[in-house]
Amino acid sequence: MKQRAQMVEIANTKISIRRQCTLLGISRSNLYYNPVGEKQENLKMMAIIDQHLIDHPTEGVMSIVYYLRDKGFKVGPKRIRRLFNLMGRTTLYRKKNLSKTGQTVYIKPYLLRHLNIDSPNQVWCTDITYIPMKKGFMYLTAFIDVYSRKIMSFGISNTMSTKWCIEVMEEGIRQYGKPQIINSDQGTQYTSSLWNEYLANEGIQISMDGKGRATDNAWIERFWKTLKTEHIYLSPSDNGLELLRGVQNHIAYYHEKIHHTTKQKPNDRYHQISSKQVA
């Protein structure tokens, strides 16, 4: 699949990308998209913000404004809010105008508190994170099995669409079967009709982090921290394909690590990394 996806010629004016994918027998979601571009100073600040928020996830716009000013950047709240939005970051306190999204009907309760998670596919957690690169940035989403801490599927994209999240989830389901519950935050991807209707049709219960609770989705947050501190920050990628390969290699290492260091070893049928690539 990877080799065929690399055969697609983005600049080909005679055959459309859609037609090339059809002829090669691959999904358009497996293409390696270019990183999102941004001004160099903003990219530098976004990388600094991301590294800071890994250890201080509850800090909001004004805290980051003061933090960056101390480092010599001339920034204000408006600029930091824009960068937060690009990074897919939202503050953890409840917003006064949350109802403006029109999606409050799809906000679900947190189902994992006091739940005894004692088997694979009982609970998956998911999230989207910003990935800094040498000349831009991309987004990474993943689904983690809470019991085994196995990464069931992941995807890389230059947009944060609900459709992309569902495609990555579908790949995990094809590989390992359906979870009983999927937990996420209250991001727009997960409080959409598309997400909620898909999970309802599949018979999967929806759980969502409570506002102001940074630890409700701690499993995936710990994985993001490991991935970024041990790979992303040390070896920023030039392009989507290089990023993909790096994330794949780190996940393979991560799976070996949890296999040897935890009592709850991944189930045998979870040893194969998902073939989901880039959306």
Domain-located, residue 274? no
**Edge-to-edge strands, sheet with 181-184:** 151-157, 136-145, 123-133, 181-184, 205-208
Do 118 and 251 have their domain in common?
yes
C-alpha to C-alpha distance for 194 and 201, rounded to whole angstroms? 11
- In this prediction, residue 259 carries a pLDDT of 63
Do 5 and 46 have their domain in common?
no
Q: How many CA atoms lie within 13 A of 180 on its CB side?
A: 12
Domain-located, residue 260? yes
In contact, 151 and 143? CB cutoff 8 Å = yes
- Give the mean model confidence (pLDDT) for residues 185-203: 94
- When divided into structural domains, the chain yields a total of 3
Do 164 and 258 have their domain in common?
yes
C-alpha to C-alpha distance for 269 and 67, rounded to whole angstroms? 46
Strands 136-145 and 151-157: antiparallel
Do 78 and 126 have their domain in common?
no
Do 200 and 225 have their domain in common?
yes
C-alpha to C-alpha distance for 28 and 71, rounded to whole angstroms? 42
Do 155 and 196 have their domain in common?
yes
In contact, 6 and 21? CB cutoff 8 Å = no
- In this prediction, residue 216 carries a pLDDT of 64
- Give the mean model confidence (pLDDT) for residues 233-251: 87
- In this prediction, residue 182 carries a pLDDT of 97
pLDDT at 95 over 50: no
C-alpha to C-alpha distance for 115 and 180, rounded to whole angstroms? 13
Do 137 and 189 have their domain in common?
yes
Strands 151-157 and 123-133: unpaired
Q: Which residue range(s) make up the domain with 18?
A: 1-31
DSSP label at residue 106: G
Structure tokens at 272: 């194969």
3-state secondary structure 40-105: HHHHHHHHHHHHHHHHCCCCCHHHHHHHHHHCCCCCCHHHHHHHHHHHCCCCCCCCCCHHHHCCHH
Stretch among 33-47, 214-228, 264-278 having the lowest mean pLDDT: 264-278
Calculate the average pLDDT of the chain: 80
- In this prediction, residue 257 carries a pLDDT of 82
Do 248 and 118 have their domain in common?
yes
pLDDT, tens only, 114-131 = 899 999 999 999 999 999
Domain-located, residue 278? no
Do 188 and 148 have their domain in common?
yes
- Give the mean model confidence (pLDDT) for residues 137-142: 93
Domain-located, residue 125? yes
- Give the mean model confidence (pLDDT) for residues 94-111: 63
- In this prediction, residue 200 carries a pLDDT of 95
Domain-located, residue 179? yes
